[in-house]
């Protein structure tokens, strides 16, 4: 891979980014299979405006990626896993006619560029897309990446509560909370073979205040309230 150098910007994913996304996946998830080109092409065929990459301006290396689709949340249960929400990563369950929820299937950042604003660019792009389309919210399953270091001492729900309150830091979820997300629930078996989360994920949500009603906030569990 080319060395990382300079400034960067976010653009919608194009086929010429596929090799870079696959290389990035292997850095972020070593030992796991990368996104296939069939999956990535399916994303572009189905919902091109929901797919983003951050590219290094000097080297054109892909240093960040986000993939998403629109779902009608009532079609799913909170306990369903990543495979169900994404139709095995193909996004063929994308439902722009009924759906009001942008489902975040993936966000990843080059390990050497973390803490430099790459993730913020991706989340800003997603929020802008939600507002442009008048969607209600973003939801995602956020793997509890740091849970393996605490699993002997507490349940996954107890860990998520401590992360929500800021008394524990999770490498993934704490950042998402800083981006305005709220934990709704904790689910088992989201990414079954992930050694860091042990399969556990937090269902997270960001609400578009421009279209939300008071009822849209009522489902939030106060035990995950940072102020609780």
Q: Which of 103, 135, 167 is the last residue of a domain?
A: 135
Quote the pLDDT of residue 183: 96
4-8, 44-48, 75-79, 125-129: segment of lowest average pLDDT = 4-8
Do the beta carbons of residue 80 and residue 139 sit within 8 Å?
no
Q: What is the DSSP string of 60-122?
A: --EEEEEEEEEE-GGGS-TT--HHHHHTTTT-TT--TTT--EEEEEEEEE-GGGTTTTHHHHH
With respect to residue 104, please indicate whether it lies within any of the assigned structural domains.
Answer: yes
Per-residue confidence band for 4, with pLDDT thresholds at 50, 70 and 90: low
CA distances from 49 to 68, 100, 102 (A): 9, 15, 12
The residue among 120, 131, 175 whose CA lies nearest residue 8 is 120
Mean pLDDT score across all residues of the chain: 93
Is 209 found in the same domain as 129? no
Q: Answer yes or no: do 104 and 190 share one domain.
A: no
pTM: 0.92
In the predicted structure, residue 1 carries a pLDDT above the cut 50: no
Judgement on whether residues 99 and 192 belong to the same structural domain of the protein: no
Output the pLDDT for position 194: 83
Stretch 197-205: mean pLDDT, rounded? 93
Confidence at 34, pLDDT banded by 50, 70, 90: very high
Q: Please tell me which residue, 192 or 87, carries the higher pLDDT value.
A: 87
Domain that holds residue 177: 142-216
Tell me which of 90, 113, 135 is where a domain ends.
135
- 151 plus 82 within the same structural domain: no
Q: What is the pLDDT of residue 228?
A: 58
Residue 3's pLDDT is 58
Greater pLDDT, 6 or 128: 128
The answer to whether 134 and 211 have CB atoms below 8 angstroms apart is: yes
């Amino acid at each position: 891979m080319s060395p990382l150098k300079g400034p960067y910007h976010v653009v919608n994913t194009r086929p010429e980014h596929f090799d870079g996304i696959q290389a990035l996946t292997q850095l972020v998830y070593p030992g796991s299979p990368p996104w296939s080109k069939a999956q990535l092409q399916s994303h572009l065929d189905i919902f091109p405006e929901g797919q983003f990459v951050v590219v290094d301006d000097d080297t054109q290396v892909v240093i960040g990626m986000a993939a998403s689709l629109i779902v009608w949340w009532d079609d799913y249960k909170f306990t369903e896993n990543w495979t169900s929400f994404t139709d095995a990563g193909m996004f063929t369950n994308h439902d722009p006619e009924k759906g009001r929820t942008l489902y975040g299937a993936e966000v990843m950042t080059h390990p050497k560029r973390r803490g430099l604003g790459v993730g913020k660019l991706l989340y800003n792009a997603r929020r802008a897309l939600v507002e442009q389309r008048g969607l209600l919210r973003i939801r995602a399953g956020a793997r509890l990446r740091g849970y393996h270091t605490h699993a002997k001492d507490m349940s996954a729900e107890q860990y998520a509560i401590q992360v929500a309150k800021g008394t524990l830091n999770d490498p993934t979820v704490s950042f998402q909370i800083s981006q305005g997300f709220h934990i709704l629930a904790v689910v088992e078996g989201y990414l079954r073979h992930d050694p860091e989360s042990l399969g556990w994920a937090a269902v997270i949500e960001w609400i578009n205040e421009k279209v939300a009603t008071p009822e849209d906030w009522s489902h939030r569990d106060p035990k995950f309230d940072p102020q609780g």
